[in-house]
Amino acid sequence: MRDGSLLPHDDDADIAYLSTFTQPADVAIEAFSVGNRLAELGYEVQRHSATHMQLLFRDEAEVVIHYIDVFAAFFTSDGHINQPFHVRGRMRVDQMLPFGTVSIEGAEFPAPADTDRWLTLNYDERWREPIPGFVLQTPDETRKLFDGWFGGFNFQREFWDERFISQRMSESEDTWKHGADWIAAQNLTSPTLLDLGSGSGGLSARLSSPRRRVIACDYSSEALYLARMSGLETSHVNLYRLNSLTAPRRLGIGTPFDVASNHLLEQVGHLGRANAFRLARMALRSGGSAVATAYANPAHDVNQLDPTTWHLDQSDLRAHAREFGLVVEFTDLDPGPHEEDRAPYGVVFTLNTHPYQRKDLSVKQRLRQLFLRARSRGNAAELDTLRERVSELETELTDIRRDNLRVAELIDLAEQALMPTEPSTGPQRPRTVRPGQEAE
């Protein structure tokens, strides 16, 4: 708007669409559908939250050369316009609609009806004058509100991507070798094994054999690329998302399977740890095993921005695992020279014979309607299994009716599992997703 041209220092393109919904859960459900459709069209989609995704574009060497951010925007009944993750402020609908146009480098693009109001909300009233060193700051209240509504699926992903790119994991594989040695010595005999937080696949390679299918699972695309280059089967699994629990079904696992994770539990944080416990529980119920390693003490140079320096106290792990019906047995491990003060340990999970007390909770009416529609289509047996699992998930979520993100994710999963979309008859773009890598 200032110069009729692109900002010379910008490094990406941002696209926002205006939703007609006003409730956060509905906006999130719609955003999941938008992402699913983009993935069907062949784009590589990386989700940062329910309402923020990136479309990644790679060169022939599979290096990201550019990306497009896609955001949802929506009005709420309190008279605010919202565009997570940054913008929230008072704006009338007639200041947004009908859209006008703005000319950039001679091309016409849609723009809010009142561009001054929109840019003032995005930046401040001084947007007309370039300010050297200007830093975009999101108010804490806005950030917390959007985090509560739409979550964060990208926690520390850039740290791991950069680590895998720059170090190619040679140092990291040596760092956690003692944990890998302990896992490799466990009695893991199921036909399939999921290596959660596999990194470049060192442990997966050790566990692979002609008699066992081992799948390297990680949320870093750079880690999965290195694992594939080693000839391993890979799967994108983001433990910060509820859809990580569809991995066994998505991967066609119909037999008992094992779950192993080498120093994942302390590095993933409590939000991702919950879904790791759920996958462990699924493995145990299938007739398989679940094992993990972790550090009991932090590194001497512990840093909030470096997950490799974090720790997980055994009492905390035991208490958190108990919430998911799991019992743990610990084994102290001999530390390597670089981890003498960190007290590494191994953990074997088993199912609790006295499960936690369930609460009588329900999801939104829309989910119940999906069940009824699915039953009418002859999916009764599969529906009963899903209903039991959803009921179990409900008991583990705090006040499910107010947890917009979890409701949206549950509905998105149910829609995909029970009401698959009809095959598209329109033109299809060539897929840009890496071989063997699922779009998020």
Hunting for tokens 């047995």 — which residue is that? Answer: 329
- Rg for the chain (alpha carbons), in Å? 23
Per-residue pLDDT band for 75 (boundaries 50, 70, 90) equals very high
Return the closest-CA partner of residue 47 out of 243, 232, 185, 189: 243
380-396 vs 365-376: helix crossing angle, rounded to 10: 160
Is 72:83 a contact under the CB 8 Å cutoff?
A: yes
What confidence tens digit (pLDDT) does each residue in 222-246 have? Answer: 999 999 999 999 999 999 999 999 9
Residue 292: strand, helix, or coil: strand
- Give me the numbers of helices (H) and strands (E) for the chain, helices first please: 15, 15
Neighbours of 349 (CB within 10 A): 21
- What is the separation of C-alpha 141 from the centre of its chain, rounded to a whole number of angstroms? 23
What confidence tens digit (pLDDT) does each residue in 268-279 have? Answer: 988 899 999 999
- Is it the case that residue 435 has pLDDT exceeding 60? no
pTM over 0.85: no
Per-residue pLDDT band for 63 (boundaries 50, 70, 90) equals confident
Residue type, 10: D
Of the two residues 430 and 53, the one the predictor is more confident about is 53
**157-351 belongs to CATH 3.40.50.150:** yes
In the prediction, which pLDDT does 33 show? Answer: 95
- For 172-197, b where at least 16 C-beta lie within 10 A, e where not — what string? bbeebebbbbbbeeeebebebbbbbb
- What is the separation of C-alpha 5 from the centre of its chain, rounded to a whole number of angstroms? 35
What confidence tens digit (pLDDT) does each residue in 353-399 have? Answer: 875 554 444 445 666 666 666 666 666 676 677 777 776 665 554 44
Share of the chain above pLDDT 70, in %: 83
User: The tokens of 161 are what?
Assistant: 């991507």
Phi-psi region of 30 (alpha: psi -120 to 50; beta: other; left: phi over 0): alpha
Sign of the dihedral defined by the CA atoms of residues 409, 414, 416, 422, in that order: negative
Rounded Cα distance between 244 and 258, Å, is 16
Q: How large is the greatest C-alpha to C-alpha distance in the chain, in angstroms?
A: 69
List, by residue range, all CATH 3.40.50.150 domains of the chain.
157-351
- The alpha helices in 123-220, defined as continuous H runs, are 140-150, 157-167, 170-175, 177-184, 202-207
Cα distances (angstroms) measured from residue 312 to each of 203, 262, 416 = 21, 13, 35
Rounded Cα distance between 166 and 159, Å, is 11
Which contiguous run of DSSP H or E holds residue 45?
strand 44-49
Min mean pLDDT across 90-94, 96-100, 175-179 is at 175-179
